[in-house]
Structure 1
Amino acid sequence: MRRLKTVSTGQSRSSQGKELRFSDCSQASSTSASTGAPSTLYCQKCRRTCSGSTKKCGKGKVRRTSFSEPKICYSVLEAGEDSEGSHSDLERYRDRNRCEKSVRLMVTPSFENTRRLETEYPRSIFLIIATEFCERFSFCGLRTILSLYLRNILLFHENKATVIYHVFIMMCYFVPVVGAILADSCLGRFRTILYFSIIYTIGNVVMCLAATPPVGLEPVTFTMIGLTLIATGTGGIKPCVAAFGGDQFKLPQQECLLKQFFAIFYFTINFGGFVGMILTPILRKAVTCFGDDTCYSLGFGFPAALMIVSLCLFIAGKPLYRIKFPKQNIIVRFTSCMMYAICTKMRTKEKDPNRHWLSYAEKKFDAKLISDMKNVLAILYLFFPLPIFWSLFDQQGSRWTFQASRMNGEVFGYQIMPDQIQVVNPAIVLLLIPLFNKGIYPCLTNCHVLVSPLQRMVAGGFIAGIAFVCSGVLEYALEHTYPMLPSKGEAFVNFVNSLPCDLTVVDSHGNYRVLISGDMTTIKRIPVQNRSEYNVVIAGPAFCNEYQVDVPQFDMNIPVTEREVRTVLIGIEKKSFEGYLSDIEDLKKTLSGKPKLRLSFMRNSDEPLQEATITVSNELGFRDVYFVPAIPLGITAYLELLPGKYDFTIFYPETGRTESEGSMTLELGGVYSLVLREYNGNIAFAKLYAMTPPNTIHMFWIVPQYVFLSVAEVMFAISGLEFSFTQAPKSMKTVTMAAWYFSVACGNLLVIIITQAQFFSNQANEFFLFAALIFLDMFVFAWMSSDYQTVSIESDDSSLTCVEADENYPLLGLPSHEAVLP
C-alpha cells in the first residue's frame, strides 16, 4: 500500500522532528517506542495527536512538530504496487504540509520476500473466486431452465423462445461495454461490481416472484423485467471480475501466478456452472408446487439465494482487496485522441504513407497514450471474426436443449431431463483445463505447435465447427421420430381399419389404397385451399370374416383444413361399413417430453348402447377414469402421462360388468391413440397406434457434440481471456475485456437474425450453415492474426525508481503498519 511521510531535510536520517501517520494509536505508540524518538505522532483513526509514550489520544488540539528546515515529502511504494495517481496524492500531501520538495521512491523487496511474493496468492483472490462461484451457479442455473420455461410455461413458440433466450444472452454480453466504461472512467472496478451485483440480485428476486402464481404478478411482463435486470447486472460485472482479480497480483513478480489465476478463474466459472446446471433442473422437476408437476419458483428462487450469498461474500472481502480507482476518464481521452488524429491527418497536406494515423495526435497527446491505443486497436481488430464462435457456443442453451427434449434420456430407470444435458459442457471443461495446462499444452509447446493463444483460438474454432457437424447429423437422425405434418396447401387423412378384413379406398383424384386389417393408412399431400372436402369411396367384401355385410361400400365427404390431419375410424353398423370422423389430430410432441394418449371408442350393437367407463392405471398408483356416454363414437382429448406400462379396463355401470382388455407401453415423446371397437357389448378390437413416433434415439448421442464444443471452449475461450488481459495496456484492460464480451453479444445477435430469417425449414441444414460459417471464419481469423506482434506484460511499477530498504533510506525501514493516506 502507498505510504506518504514528511521529514525535514536536516533530520531525514534520524527520527527527530518527524511527523508520521498511523491507522490507530497503538501503532503510533509502538513505533515511537521502537524509535525512541520524541516525535509528534498523528493518529489517522482518531484524528488526534498522540504522545510518543502513551497509547491514548490527547484531548487537546492537533499539535505538529515545528520544523526549522525545509521539509521533504516521500511517497513510498512496495514493488509491484500501483503507481497510478501516486503523483497527485503526493502533491496534495505536500501542499497540505507545506513541503518544499517531493520524492517518489519504491521499495524493492528482499530475496526472501520476492520468493514469497512469487509463490503465494493474494488472500483476496480466494474471496473473489468464491464470489464468482456463487454468481456462476446462479446465472448458469437460471439459464439452464430458461428456454424450457419460456416454451413450456409461458407458451412461446420454439423459435420465439429461441429469440428471447438469445436476446437475453446478447444483453448479458452487451452491457459489459457500459460496465467497462464506468469502471475505467469513474466508479472503478470494485464499485462497478458492487452496484451491478445489487441490480443482478433484484432481477433474480423478480424472476422468482414472476414464476410464483400466488404472488399474482403478470408472468410474461415481470419475467421480461427480471431478465432485463439480470442481463444488466451480470453484464455490468462481467468485464470487471476477471480484471479485478488480476489487479490483486503484483507484476511482473507474480506473472506466473496471474496466468494460473485465469485457469483457476475459468475452472471456477465452469464448476459453478456445473453444479448449477445439475441442481437447478432437479429442483425444478423433483419438487411439485402450486398444483403443477414442476416448480420453476424454486428453480429460480435458489439461484436468487446464491446471488445474495455472492453479494455478501464480495462485500466481506473489501478490507483485503487492492482497489484501484480511475485517475482519468480514459474513454474520453481514447475517443478524443482518435478524433484529433483523424482530423489532423485529414488537414495535413503532405501525408507520410508509412506513418501510423494515430501518430498525427503526437502534438496534443503523450506518446504513452498513443502507444497504448495502438495496442488496443490491434487487439480490437482481431476481435472482428470472434462473434461467429459465440453464435455456435451459446446455442447449447436453446437449440441443443430443444434437440435433447426430443431424445430418450432414460438411464437405468433414471430419466435425464433435457435441460440437465447442458451439464456435460462444464463437466468436461473441468476435466480438460488441468489436462490441457499440465499435459497437452506443454507437449504441444515442445513440438512448437499451438504455442500462442491466437493459434489455440484458431484450433478451437475449427473444433467448434466439427461439433455442429455432429449436431446436424444427429438432427437428420431425429427427423425420423418427428411428426409428419402437412405443408402449406396440403392436408393428411388417416384411415384406421378396425375390421377383420382388408378394405379399399379410392378418392376423387383416382388414388387407390388398400386398407389392411388392423392397420392405419395415411393419405398425404391432399391438395386443399384453406378448407374444403375430400371425397372418398370405401369398399370391402360382402363377408368380412364373421360379419355379413349387406352394403359393402360407402361414400364419405371428409372436411379437411390446410396443414391439419384428420382420422377416419372404420367399423360396422347394422350390416354395413361405417366411417367415423375424429377431431383434428394434435400430433406434436409434448413440450415436457411426456407421451400423449387419446382414447377412441367405437360402439355397435343390436341392443341399446350402455354408458361405460375406461380406466387407465399403472403400477405406480396412477389411475385415470374416462366416462363414455351411450353414443356410437366417444373420443377423449389428448392427455399427458408419465412414460411406462399401463393397463386399461372397461366397466359398464348398468350391468356391473368389467372387461380387462390388456396393457400398453407409452414411451417418451410418443403421441398415441388407443382405438377400441365394441360389438354387441363385447370388445371386438383394441389396438394402440403411435400417431407420432416416440423418442427412440438415446440422449447419449448428443454427448459427442458437447465433447467437441467443450474442447473448443478450453482452447478458444480461456486462451482468448488470457490474450485479452495480458495484451491490453494497463489502463485499458477492462475496456479490452468488454470488447471481448461484446463479441459474444454480436454472436447471439447473429443467431437471432438467422432464426428469424428462417433460411431453412430443416433444423439440420441450419446447423450445417453454422458449421460452414465457423470454418470460413477461422480461416479469416488465422490470416488476420498471423501478423500480430505479441506485447510483453507491462509491470505495475514501470514509472518508479527502485531502491533497497536500508540505512540510506531510513524512512523505508519503518514498520509496515503505517497507514495509507485517505
Structure 2
Amino acid sequence: MGTSISSIDTSNPSTKYCKKCSRLCIFDVSKLSPNQDFKKAPLSDSKLSLLTKKNVKNYLNSRKKSQKDLANNKKERSKKSVRIFMTQSLDNKNKPDMEYPRSIFLIIATEFCERFSFCGLRTILSLYLRNILLFHENKATVVYHVFIMMCYFVPVIGAILADSCLGRFRTILYFSVIYTVGNIVMCFAATPPIGLEPVTFTMIGLSLIATGTGGIKPCVAAFGGDQFKVPQQEHLLKQFFAIFYFTINFGGFVGMILTPILRKAITCFGDDTCYSLGFGFPAALMIISLGLFIAGKPLYRIKFPKQNIMVRFTTCMMYAICTKIRTKEKDPNRHWLSYAEKKFDAKLISDMKNVLAILYLFFPLPIFWSLFDQQGSRWTFQASRMNGEVFGYQIMPDQIQVINPALVLLLIPLFNKGIYPCLGSCHVLVSPLQRMVAGGFIAGLAFICSGVLEYELEQTYPMLPSKGEAFINFVNSLPCDLMITDSKGNSRTLSMGDMTTIKKIPVFNKTEYNVVLSAMDNCKNTPMNSRHMEIAVPVTEREVRTVLIGIENKKIECYLSDLEDLKKTLSGKPKLRLSVLRSSDKPFEKVTITIKNNVGFSDIYFVPEVAIGVSAYLELLPGQYGFSVFYPESQRTEFEGGLNLELGGVYSLVMREYNRNIVFAKLYAMTPPNTIHMFWIIPQYVFLSIAEVMFAISGLEFSFTQAPKSMKTVTMAAWYFSVACGNLLVIIITQAQFFSNQADEFFLFAALIFVDMFIFAWMSLDYQTVSIESDDSSLTFPEPDENYPLLALTSHEAVLP
C-alpha cells in the first residue's frame, strides 16, 4: 500500500520535487521518518493525483512569499492551512464504518425499559377505567384516547425545547423524571390502603405520564441517530431505525404479556385483581430506564443547539408572508419563502422548504393513527366479549394486544430481508412513501375484519329494550304446555320447561301489560281447578321482567321475579342468579342450596321461607359446577344437579318446590355466553401489524432522513403530532355516536382510511427525495484572500482550477 496522502501544509519546507517522474509528488511528510529518503517513499499508483512541474514552480514561489507572514502568527497560520484532499483521502473519509457506536446499546436498553413500562400500563388501562373506576365503555374510550393524544401532542413541546435550548440529552433526562413520577402516582392511586382518591389521582398520574413520554418521544430516535457519523455510517443509521423499532416492539411485547398477568394472577387488598402491582411494575421499569440513560452519559455524542431554530423558523415564515403581501409585482414562479432572502440566509430558507414539503405530506396521516390506536380501547373491549379459553388456560382480553408486537417482531426481518428486496427487484414499493400508502390500505382491511367480527359478536350480546320499550320473560315450570295471549289477540305457545320473551312492549302511558295464560291439552294429567289465568305484568321503560309460572292450590300461579340485569360482567366472568318457587300444603321448611366446583370454590344460598326467593347475582369463574338442595331440619339432600357456566354468560337457575320436594330445576341462559373464540380476532391484528411495519417504520425513516440536520426533531415531532390528531378523531367520533352499533363505526374508519390513502398517494407524487445530510462538511475552503492553490474536487479526480 502507498503512503497515505491526506494533506499538505504549505508551511512545511520538506515538500520535494521528484526528478524521477518530473513531477511534484505531494506526500504527507509527517508520516515519513527523518532518515527516509523521499524517492524511496511508496507511492499510491493510479489514485495519486500529481501536479505538473509548471504548477509546482508557481506553487513554491507562492509558498516562499507567504512563509514570513505565516511565521509571525502560528495560530493564524494554522487556521489558514489549506488542506488539499486527494482521491485516496476522500476514499478513506467516505469508507463505510462497520462498527456501531457503543452508546447505541445503552440507548436501546433504555428504550426497551421505557417501552415495557408504557405498553404494560397502556395495555391494562382501558379495563382499569371500565372495571375499577366504573367508567362507561364510551367514557373509558374517550379517556384512553385523550391520554394517548396527550402522549403524542407533548412531543411538539419536547421538540421545541430540544432544538432550541435544552438539547436532546437534557430534554430526555428532564421529561424522564416527570414520566417516572407519573408512574409512581398511578401505582399509589390504584393502592386502596394509601387512601388517595382513585379517579383524581389516576388523572394526575396519566397527565404526568403523557407529559413525560411525550417529551422524550421525538428525541430518543433522533438522539440515537446523532450517535452516527454521516455519511460514513449511513448504512448503520438505516439499520438502526429497524433495530430501534424492533426494540420498541420487543419491549412492548414483554410488557403486554407480563403486566396483565401481574394484575390478574395476583390478588391484593381483598380484590381478585391487583392493579397496584400492574402499575407498580412499570414504574420500577421506568426507574431502571432512567438509571440506564444517566449511566451512559460519558459515551454519548451530545449535540447542543446553536440557535433557537423554532423562533427563526417562525420568524422567517412570517417575514416571507408579510414581504410577499407587500410586494406589488409578484413572480408566480417564485416560492413564497424566497421573499425572505433579504433578511435570512439561503441555507435556512432551503431547509424550511424541505421541512414544509414534509409537513405537507403529514396532513393525511392522522386517519391511520385513529385506526391503529384503537387496539387498546375498542379492540380490547371487543376481545372482552369473546371466549379466550385455550387448553384450560384463559387468555385475558387485554393480553390479546400482545399479538401486535409479536407479529411486528417477526415481520420486520421478513420485510427487510425478504419481501422488500423481492419487490424492489420488480421496482415495487421501493420508497418509504409508497410503502406507507400500501400500509394504509392494509389497515383498512383490518377494520373491515373487525366490523365483520363485531356483527357476529352481536348475536351473543344481551337483547336490551330501547327507549320507550320493555321486555318480559315467561318461564314455564309446569309439566305441560301453555298458551300466552296478549290484549291484541296475539298468541304464542310456551312448551313445558321453556322460556319465551315478549320484546318491544311499548310503555308510553302504560305501566302494565295484560296477558292470558291457558293450559294446553297435555295438562290433563295435572290436577287444575282452573285452566286459565289473566295477569297484569308491571312494566318499566328499558327494564326486563321475568314471570315464573307455577301451580298453587290446583290453579296456575304467576310469580314476578326481581328486575333482570342482562349485561355481561366487566371481567367477562359468567354470573348466576337463583330463583326458587315454593308451594306446600305444610309450613315451609328451611332450605339451603350449595354451589361448588372441583377447585375448592363453594357458596351457600339460604332460601327464604316465602313463595318466591331470588338471590343476588353471583360472579363466578367459568367451568363446571355442582349444586345440591339440602333440608337442615330433616338432614336430607333432596336434589343434586350440574351447571356449565361459560365465559360472558348470564344465567338463571329456576327451581320449583312442591311439598318439600324439588319437582323442577333448569338453568336458563338469559344472555348468551361468549361462544366466538378470541382467536377470530387474530386476522385483524395480522393486517394491522403488517400495516404498522409498512407505515410506521417507513414513516419514521422518512421523517428523520428527509429532514434537514437542524430540524430533525421538529419534523419527527410533527410526525408524532399526527398521532395525536388521530386520537382526537377517535374522541370526536366516539362522542358523536353516529351509529347505534360498533360494527358500523368500524366500517366508517375503514372507509376513511381508504379515501385518505388515495389522497396521500396523490400528494406524494410531487415529492422530491433529498439525500442524507452529512454531520459536517467534507471540504474546508480557504479564506478568499489566501494565495494558496485550491484543488477543485471533481468525481474521483483532483485537478488544479
| Cα distance change, pair 13–691 in 1 and its aligned pair in 2 (3 A) | farther
Match of 1:209 among 188, 195, 210: 188
Preserved contact between residue 361 and residue 764 of structure 2 (Cα < 8 Å) = yes
CA positional deviation for 1:611? 1.6
> In structure 2, what is the Cα distance between the partners aligned to 1:692 and 1:222?
36
SS of the equivalent of 1:72 reads helix
State the partner residue of 2:143. 164
**RMSD across aligned positions (CA):** 2.3
| Pairing of 1:185-264 with structure 2 (within 5 A) | 185-264=164-243
State the partner residue of 1:291. 270
SS of the equivalent of 1:561 reads coil
Preserved contact between residue 543 and residue 549 of structure 1 (Cα < 8 Å) = no
CA positional deviation for 1:653? 1.6
SS of the equivalent of 1:534 reads strand
Q: Which amino acid aligns with 1:393?
A: F
Match status 1:561 vs 2:540: yes
> In structure 2, what is the Cα distance between the partners aligned to 1:530 and 1:71?
104
Q: Which amino acid aligns with 1:453?
A: P
Preserved contact between residue 74 and residue 105 of structure 1 (Cα < 8 Å) = no
CA positional deviation for 1:629? 1.6
**Worse-matched range after superposition: 131-140 or 791-800:** 791-800
> In structure 2, what is the Cα distance between the partners aligned to 1:655 and 1:542?
38
Structure 1: gaps spanning 5 or more residues:
1-8, 15-33, 36-66, 76-100, 804-822
CA positional deviation for 1:728? 0.2
State the partner residue of 1:72. 75
> In structure 1, what is the Cα distance between the partners aligned to 2:781 and 2:152?
41
Q: Which amino acid aligns with 2:681?
A: I
Q: Which amino acid aligns with 1:268?
A: T
Preserved contact between residue 476 and residue 548 of structure 2 (Cα < 8 Å) = yes
SS of the equivalent of 2:514 reads strand
| Cα distance change, pair 570–248 in 1 and its aligned pair in 2 (3 A) | same
| Pairing of 1:699-714 with structure 2 (within 5 A) | 699-714=678-693
Preserved contact between residue 489 and residue 530 of structure 1 (Cα < 8 Å) = no
Match status 1:336 vs 2:339: no
Q: Number of aligned residue pairs: give it.
A: 721
Q: Which amino acid aligns with 1:701?
A: W
State the partner residue of 2:340. 361
CA positional deviation for 1:488? 1.1
SS of the equivalent of 2:75 reads strand
Q: Which amino acid aligns with 1:298?
A: L
SS of the equivalent of 2:582 reads strand
**Worse-matched range after superposition: 550-559 or 282-291:** 550-559
1:604-624 deviations in whole A, cap 9, x for unaligned? 111111121100000011000
> In structure 1, what is the Cα distance between the partners aligned to 2:725 and 2:446?
20
Preserved contact between residue 10 and residue 69 of structure 1 (Cα < 8 Å) = no
Match status 1:139 vs 2:118: yes
Match status 1:642 vs 2:621: yes
> In structure 2, what is the Cα distance between the partners aligned to 1:182 and 1:190?
11
Match status 1:763 vs 2:742: yes
State the partner residue of 2:430. 451
> In structure 1, what is the Cα distance between the partners aligned to 2:384 and 2:76?
70
> In structure 1, what is the Cα distance between the partners aligned to 2:530 and 2:359?
82
SS of the equivalent of 2:624 reads strand
> In structure 1, what is the Cα distance between the partners aligned to 2:13 and 2:167?
38
Match of 1:536 among 503, 510, 515: 515
1:717-764 deviations in whole A, cap 9, x for unaligned? 000000000000000000000000000000000000000000001100
Match status 1:372 vs 2:351: yes
> In structure 1, what is the Cα distance between the partners aligned to 2:719 and 2:660?
73
CA positional deviation for 1:220? 0.4
Preserved contact between residue 95 and residue 232 of structure 2 (Cα < 8 Å) = no
1:629-652 deviations in whole A, cap 9, x for unaligned? 211100001110000000101111
> In structure 2, what is the Cα distance between the partners aligned to 1:166 and 1:553?
58
State the partner residue of 1:658. 637
> In structure 2, what is the Cα distance between the partners aligned to 1:627 and 1:268?
57
Match status 1:485 vs 2:464: yes
State the partner residue of 2:40. none
> In structure 2, what is the Cα distance between the partners aligned to 1:238 and 1:444?
32
> In structure 1, what is the Cα distance between the partners aligned to 2:737 and 2:764?
33
Preserved contact between residue 513 and residue 537 of structure 2 (Cα < 8 Å) = yes
Q: Which amino acid aligns with 1:720?
A: G
Q: Which amino acid aligns with 1:374?
A: K
Match of 1:324 among 303, 308, 314: 303
> In structure 2, what is the Cα distance between the partners aligned to 1:464 and 1:337?
38
Structure 2: gaps spanning 5 or more residues:
1-8, 15-32, 35-69, 783-801
| Pairing of 1:716-795 with structure 2 (within 5 A) | 716-795=695-774
CA positional deviation for 1:447? 0.5
| Cα distance change, pair 559–782 in 1 and its aligned pair in 2 (3 A) | same
State the partner residue of 2:609. 630
1:694-734 deviations in whole A, cap 9, x for unaligned? 00000110000000000000000000000000000000000
CA positional deviation for 1:513? 1.7
> In structure 1, what is the Cα distance between the partners aligned to 2:321 and 2:266?
62
> In structure 2, what is the Cα distance between the partners aligned to 1:435 and 1:666?
43
CA positional deviation for 1:545? 5.4
> In structure 2, what is the Cα distance between the partners aligned to 1:150 and 1:73?
68
Q: Which amino acid aligns with 1:648?
A: F
CA positional deviation for 1:544? 2.7
| Pairing of 1:384-403 with structure 2 (within 5 A) | 384-403=363-382
State the partner residue of 1:277. 256
State the partner residue of 1:62. none
> In structure 1, what is the Cα distance between the partners aligned to 2:216 and 2:734?
29
> In structure 1, what is the Cα distance between the partners aligned to 2:429 and 2:616?
60
CA positional deviation for 1:362? 0.2
**Worse-matched range after superposition: 428-437 or 793-802:** 793-802
1:748-807 deviations in whole A, cap 9, x for unaligned? 00000000000001100000000000000000000000110001111111275189xxxx
Match status 1:304 vs 2:307: no
Q: Which amino acid aligns with 1:364?
A: K
Preserved contact between residue 542 and residue 549 of structure 1 (Cα < 8 Å) = no
> In structure 2, what is the Cα distance between the partners aligned to 1:74 and 1:382?
49
| Cα distance change, pair 792–544 in 1 and its aligned pair in 2 (3 A) | same
Match of 2:595 among 616, 619, 625: 616
Query: Please, what TM-score do these two structures have when normalized by structure 1?
Result: 0.85
| Cα distance change, pair 541–251 in 1 and its aligned pair in 2 (3 A) | closer
Preserved contact between residue 594 and residue 669 of structure 1 (Cα < 8 Å) = yes
Preserved contact between residue 590 and residue 596 of structure 1 (Cα < 8 Å) = yes
Match status 1:121 vs 2:124: no
> In structure 2, what is the Cα distance between the partners aligned to 1:107 and 1:573?
110
CA positional deviation for 1:686? 0.4
Q: Which amino acid aligns with 2:151?
A: C
> In structure 2, what is the Cα distance between the partners aligned to 1:127 and 1:74?
42
Query: Please, what TM-score do these two structures have when normalized by structure 2?
Result: 0.87
> In structure 2, what is the Cα distance between the partners aligned to 1:531 and 1:392?
45
State the partner residue of 2:555. 576
| Pairing of 1:495-514 with structure 2 (within 5 A) | 495-514=474-493
1:244-277 deviations in whole A, cap 9, x for unaligned? 0000000011111000000000000000000000
1:436-484 deviations in whole A, cap 9, x for unaligned? 0011111111100011000000000000000000000000010100001
SS of the equivalent of 2:398 reads helix
> In structure 2, what is the Cα distance between the partners aligned to 1:287 and 1:114?
58
State the partner residue of 2:5. none
1:363-405 deviations in whole A, cap 9, x for unaligned? 0000000000000000000000000000000000000000000
Q: Which amino acid aligns with 1:72?
A: K
State the partner residue of 1:549. 528
> In structure 1, what is the Cα distance between the partners aligned to 2:320 and 2:206?
41
CA positional deviation for 1:528? 0.8
| Cα distance change, pair 653–103 in 1 and its aligned pair in 2 (3 A) | farther
> In structure 1, what is the Cα distance between the partners aligned to 2:311 and 2:82?
28
Match status 1:265 vs 2:244: yes
SS of the equivalent of 1:119 reads coil
State the partner residue of 1:606. 585
Q: Which amino acid aligns with 1:399?
A: R
